[in-house]
Amino acid sequence: MAKTLSTLAKGKIPQTPEDIERLLVRISKWKTLKRIRKKGTPAVFTTHVGGELIEGWQIGESEEDWNDWKDGGWLYFLDHYAEFFPYVYDALIELGLHELGREFARICALLPEIEVFDEIDFYCAIDFLKDSNSEVEDERLLHYSQTQRLHMSGEFSKIIERLDALSKPLWGETTFMEGWDCLIRYVGRNFDA
């Protein structure tokens, strides 16, 4: 039987960022996304993905001069949490962050021929989108002209800026509940799921 949020939180609905952190630590003891998905309910899995997304964004946002990009938030997350990419859109929608979900879907739409990423493909695709002059290793990306790549890279940059602008008032560390409010509310709504 799959474990619920209630079971993992020992019957106490998280009310603070510290409570959420304790819950996320319990979930992450299962180590892999595959095991978390197998051992927990869909709400447990969404909580884990949402927690990693918020934490990754906050880490990236706190980096001062990250890889020559303005702010690291979403770019940091994409560069360091590749295994989460296939689950981010669904997690954003489940968390009620529809506008962020729509913006995130625009990244996926930039490379429609890559439906399934392994981590190496994903990093190549992100490098391809970040820098129109990066070396292309993935054969599925070789057909793009330099003009198309410049356009795609510009679009990617705009999407990242928009995602960061939308995320900052939600997840910034000076926001209500240090950015964990949406996850706290999600867990409360899905506590027994």
What is the per-residue pLDDT across 74-109, written as a single tens digit (0 to 9) for each? 988 988 888 888 899 999 999 999 999 999 999 888
Tens of pLDDT, residues 64-77:
544 544 457 898 89
- The pLDDT tens digits for 5-46 are 999 999 999 999 999 999 999 999 998 999 999 999 999 999
- pLDDT bucket at 143, cuts 50 / 70 / 90: confident
What's the rounded mean pLDDT across residues 49-58? Answer: 93
- Residue with structure tokens 């506008």? 99
Two tokens at 108?
């996926």
SS (H, E, C) the chain: CCECHHHHCCCCCCCCHHHHHHHHHHHHCCCCHHHHHHHECHHHHHHHHHHHHHHHHHHHHHCCCCCCCCCCHHHHHHHHCHHHHHHHHHHHHHCCCHHHHHHHHHHHHHCCCCCCCCHHHHHHHHHHHHCCCCCCCCHHHCCCCHHHHHHHHHHHHHHHHHHHHHHHHHHCCCCHHHHCHHHHHHHHHCCCC
* Full-model pTM: 0.88
Contacts of 136-143 spanning 24+ positions with Cβ under 8 A: 138/114, 140/113, 140/114, 141/111, 141/114
